[in-house]
Amino acid sequence: MSDLSSIKSGSNSSFSLPKAPKFNSLPPFTKAGFLHFQKYQNVRKQNFDQRIAVCELLKAKANDLFLDGEYEEAVSQYEQV
């Protein structure tokens, strides 16, 4: 899991994918989407309207966190959307 956290933080740790130059060139927010892949795997199998509803709920929660000044947690929620 520490390897995945290095993707999220964008740090240049020992975690690298030499055979995946395209992945390595992606922006950190795109790489972060892979952190939540298993968590929302069932949601991705749903129809479009249900996926949008889940995204709206996550976005609303992130907006509330942002308004409360919990910026780090808000960013984490936004990454899940």
Instruction: Tell me the mean pLDDT in the region 33-43.
Output: 73
H or E element in which residue 30 lies: helix 28-32
Asked whether the predicted pLDDT for residue 6 surpasses 80, the reply is no
Residue 40 neighbours by CB under 8 Å, 6+ apart = 54, 80
Q: Which residue has the higher pLDDT, 70 or 8?
A: 70
- Largest Cα separation within the chain, whole Å, is 42
Give the chain's domain count.
1
Residue 50 neighbours by CB under 8 Å, 6+ apart = 43
Give tens-digit pLDDT for 47-65: 899 989 988 998 999 999 9
Q: How far is CA 41 from CA 5, 10, 14, 32, 68, in A?
A: 19, 24, 28, 15, 29
- C-alpha 53/C-alpha 71 separation (Å) is 23
Q: pTM of this prediction?
A: 0.57
Domain enclosing residue 30, as ranges:
2-80
